[in-house]
Every structure is written in C-alpha cells, then in structure tokens.
C-alpha cells in the first residue's frame, strides 16, 4: 500500500466511529462485509480491469482509506493500491474454485494496513469466470455497491473501447462529510435529534420486542448462525403499484405498512417498532462511495381492526417525520442527551425491514455476459429481518433469522402469511386487516 507525506487525515463519521468502537471492544463482533459475486461468460480484459480498478480508486477516496485506532481517524492516501487477484482453475475443479471464492469473500481486512476493497477473478475455463467484489462496511454502505458497479463499468468500457467516461461529479467525499457532520452535530443538531428520539422512544428509550411463534431463548447448545427463507412472488411490486399511486405513497411505505400489519396480527401488540436502514444521502453525496447509511426505528401505532389504507397512511406520516430527523445516527444522538437504548432482553425479538432493488450495472461490461451470482450485505443484522427483493419483476419475500433463536418451520409459516397478507390488502385495502387476513388465510 502506498505511503507518503501527502496523506490526509480526517475524523471518523459518527456511524464509522460507532462501528469501529464495536469492532474493537468485542472480539466476537463480526467484520461487516458487503460482498458480490458475478458469473462472467466471455474473455475479460484483465489489463483493462486493473486500469479500471485504479481509476475507480482515484475517483473514490474511500477506496484509498485506512484507519487508525489510536486516535480513531481515517487516513486517505494519494495513490491507489488495489490490484485484481487472479485464480485459475479448470472445469474439473469447480469445488476448488468455489472454495477459493469463499476464501476471498470471507477473508477479513486489516483496517490499519489494507485498502478496504477487494476485487478478484476466479477462472474456471478460458471463457468463464467469477468476478468478486468485497468491501468493508466501514467505507461503504449497500447503496455504494451500485455506485462501484456503475463506475467500474464506465472505466472498464472506456479502456477497452478507447472512449471517454462521463460520470457525475462527486460533491462530497467521506472525509469532508465526516468533518461537516461533526460540525453540525456540535452546533446543536445532535442535541435536537437526541431530544426527538427520547420523546419518540420513551424514557428510558427502547425498541419494542415481540414474542413471535418459533422464538426461543438463546441456547448454548444450538449453533448460532443466520439463515434465510425465501418465497418467490413475481410482479409483487408492480401489483402494489395502483395502491401506491392511489394513496400517494412510495413502495417502501406500502411494504413497511404490510410488515406493521403482519406484526400487529402475529403479536397482538399495537405499538410496532421496525428497524430499517436509511441512505442518509444528499445531492452532495449521491455519487460517493462511503458509509453514510444507518438504521432508524419507525414506530407506528397499529390497530388490527383498522383498514390497510389507514395503516399505510399512518406509516407515511411516521416515515416522513422519522426521515426528517434521521441525519444523525440514533444511538449517537441519544448519547448526546445522556440517554441510551435499552439492550435487547434476549427473550423476545426486534424486527428489521428492508426493500432492496439489485443493481444490474455490471451487465453493461463490454464484450462479456454478466449475471449476478450472489450478493450478501450483512452490514445490517437483527434477530429477525423481513425483506422484499425486487429484481426487474422477479420479486421475492425473504425472512432472515438467527438459527439459535428461531426454528425453521414457524419462520416459513410467517413468511407465507406475510405473502398472503400483501396480496390480500391490495385486493381489499379498505377492509379491516384482521378480516382480510382471516379471509386470505394469512
């Protein structure tokens, strides 16, 4: 990694500071990696790909950043140092190739010595390979992966064809963003947001936990891990389109309302807390790779005898209010006013929701055919996570769960009830959700 006297040092952003503190304070705290694997057919121009990685690193300071822990700082180097890893296998060694993929994906970074983007190509034949991108959550969020893909394609195609690139100008890199964020925080924004969350989440502040079928106390005799149950639902997002248009809501709001309705029915609770990440980006950061996102709590009062329309409109108001107070990480803001979230009880569970739309930018790589083979974003982790993945109409509902706390069958049952409920409320948005669920068998 290049080192010289032209390095620039910045404070950590508020999100980075908390992530780094958690990582250093607990040896069991996982290194959060955003990983993507792509299946490539055709001959990849390795020289062009290396040149594109260098150009990508020059464009995004996050990709030239290492971290100091004493004191906590981010250090931006002037020169790129990312080199494509290459592995060669033949078509008779697929198991070895897959093992190499796993090693590349899961290998931890040294935060103080390595740039935190890893790129590798694993060839299985002369005309077939896997391309791997791994980035540490300290320098990137889920939205950053789409930016990386888009910019990498632009640079690669330009080198292959001899054309020029036309990319949006980067307004604010992560280091200057962290400086500005801390200035605003110290100038009163931290106190303001902390007071908001203390009012919203109670005193002491807490995130609601739910007793859901299948949850059990954590047991040392059961291996801890994370598993997913998936249910394909082609055209789901298009199906809710008329409802989003009629109510003037975003798809995220309607889908979040469906999660609220499901939890109200499953738990008989009326105060529903759902944790979800927000991009926390402005015009200045929309083209930047960086760790800007953080999770917020969307607290909604839900009456199971209300209509889905009423629930969705209530969720809209909550989302608008929460996002207007979402530019400071929740826990950091609470600490500013001398408060902290109560820790999880370990008996019930907190719930996480996300709405994901995978990028297909790499499909535009010149001269090859690219399909996404796998993507893992475990930067966000809760005991129970509900997601909608919308991939050009190939939509699916996904429930992720901690295997030490949940059994597979009840999770699958909840996933099926969620699926039935979403389709039912589209058909009967004005009927009470309890009635709709009963008719639909949700």
Edge-first strand order for the sheet with 396-402 is 226-232, 396-402, 384-389, 351-356, 271-278, 294-301
- Domain boundary pick from 130, 161, 192: 161
Domain harbouring 249, CATH code = 3.30.559.30
Among the listed residues 141, 56, 31, 44, the one whose alpha carbon sits nearest the alpha carbon of residue 86: 44
Residues 156 and 212 in one domain: no
Give the pLDDT score at 38.
93
Residues 154 and 210 in one domain: no
Q: What is the mean pLDDT of residues 412-437?
A: 94
How many of the other CB atoms lie within 10 Å of CB of 344?
14
Question: Distance (Å, rounded) from C-alpha 87 to C-alpha 327?
Answer: 42
pLDDT in tens, 274-333: 999 999 999 999 999 999 999 999 999 999 999 999 999 999 999 999 999 999 999 999
Residues 215 and 138 in one domain: no
Give the pLDDT score at 149.
95
Mean pLDDT of the chain: 90
Residues 140 and 234 in one domain: no
Query: Cis link prior to 85 (omega < 30° from 0)?
Result: no
**144, part of any domain:** yes
Percent of the chain exceeding pLDDT 70 equals 93
**342, part of any domain:** yes
**196, part of any domain:** no
- Domain boundary pick from 104, 137, 161: 161
**189, part of any domain:** no
**40, part of any domain:** yes
Q: pLDDT-based confidence at 379, cuts 50/70/90?
A: very low
Residues 128 and 268 in one domain: no
Domain harbouring 79, CATH code = 3.30.559.10
Residues 157 and 210 in one domain: no
pLDDT in tens, 90-125: 877 888 988 999 899 989 899 999 999 999 999 998
Q: Residue 292 to residues 62, 295, 308, 382: CA-CA distances in angstroms?
A: 12, 10, 33, 19
Number of structural domains in the chain: 2
Residues 151 and 55 in one domain: yes
Residues 297 and 212 in one domain: yes
Could you please report the per-residue DSSP string of 222-282? S---EEEEEEE-TTHHHHTHHHHHHHT--HHHHHHHHHHHHHHHHH--SEEEEEEEE----
Residues 331 and 229 in one domain: yes
Give the pLDDT score at 344.
84
Residues 250 and 152 in one domain: no
- Domain boundary pick from 131, 161, 191: 161
Residue 73, SS3? strand
Q: What is the mean pLDDT of residues 176-202?
A: 95
Q: pLDDT-based confidence at 191, cuts 50/70/90?
A: very high
pTM of the model: 0.90
Largest CA distance in the chain: 70
Range of the structural domain that residue 70 is part of:
8-161
State yes or no: pLDDT of 215 exceeds 80.
no
pLDDT in tens, 171-182: 999 999 999 999
Residues 152 and 214 in one domain: no
Phi (first) and psi of residue 212, to 5 degrees = -115, 140
**374, part of any domain:** no
Question: Distance (Å, rounded) from C-alpha 384 to C-alpha 401?
Answer: 5
Residues 156 and 214 in one domain: no
pLDDT in tens, 132-141: 999 999 999 9
């Amino acid at each position: 990694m290049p080192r010289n006297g032209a390095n620039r040092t910045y404070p950590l952003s508020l999100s980075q500071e908390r992530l780094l503190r958690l990582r250093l304070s607990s040896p069991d705290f996982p290194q959060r990696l955003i990983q993507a694997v792509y299946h490539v057919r055709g001959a990849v121009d390795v020289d062009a790909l290396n040149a594109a990685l260098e150009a990508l690193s020059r464009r995004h300071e996050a990709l030239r950043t290492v971290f100091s822990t004493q004191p906590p700082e981010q250090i931006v180097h002037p020169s790129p140092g990312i080199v494509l890893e290459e592995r060669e296998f033949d078509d008779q060694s697929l198991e070895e190739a897959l093992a190499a993929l796993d090693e590349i994906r899961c290998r931890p970074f040294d935060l103080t010595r390595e740039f935190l983007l890893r790129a590798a190509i694993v060839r299985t034949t002369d005309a077939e390979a896997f391309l791997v991108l791994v980035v540490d959550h300290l320098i990137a969020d889920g939205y950053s992966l789409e930016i990386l893909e888009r910019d990498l394609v632009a640079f690669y195609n330009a080198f292959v064809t001899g054309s020029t690139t036309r990319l949006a100008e980067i307004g604010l890199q992560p280091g200057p963003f962290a400086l500005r964020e801390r200035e605003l925080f110290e100038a009163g924004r931290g106190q303001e947001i902390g007071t908001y969350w203390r009012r919203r989440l109670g005193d002491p502040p807490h995130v609601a936990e739910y007793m859901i079928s299948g949850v059990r106390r954590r047991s040392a005799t059961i291996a801890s891990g994370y598993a997913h149950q998936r249910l394909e639902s082609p055209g789901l997002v298009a199906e809710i389109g008329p409802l989003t248009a009629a109510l003037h809501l975003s798809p995220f709001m309607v889908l979040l309302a469906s999660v609220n309705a499901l939890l109200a029915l499953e738990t008989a609770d009326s105060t529903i807390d759902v944790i979800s990440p927000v991009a926390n980006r402005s015009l200045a950061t929309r083209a930047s790779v960086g760790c800007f996102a953080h999770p917020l709590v969307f607290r909604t009062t839900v009456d199971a005898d209300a209509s889905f329309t009423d629930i969705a409109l209530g969720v809209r108001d909550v989302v608008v209010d929460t996002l207007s107070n979402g530019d400071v990480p929740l826990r950091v803001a609470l600490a500013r006013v001398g408060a902290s979230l109560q820790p999880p009880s370990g008996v019930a569970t907190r719930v996480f929701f996300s709405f994901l739309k995978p990028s297909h930018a790499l499909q535009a790589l010149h001269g090859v055919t690219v399909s996404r083979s796998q993507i893992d974003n475990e930067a966000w982790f809760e005991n129970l996570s509900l997601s909608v993945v919308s991939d050009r109409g190939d939509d699916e509902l996904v429930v992720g769960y901690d295997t030490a706390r949940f059994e597979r069958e009840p999770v699958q049952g909840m996933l099926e009830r969620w699926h039935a409920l979403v389709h039912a409320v589209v058909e009967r948005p004005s009927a009470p959700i309890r009635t709709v669920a009963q008719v639909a068998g949700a």
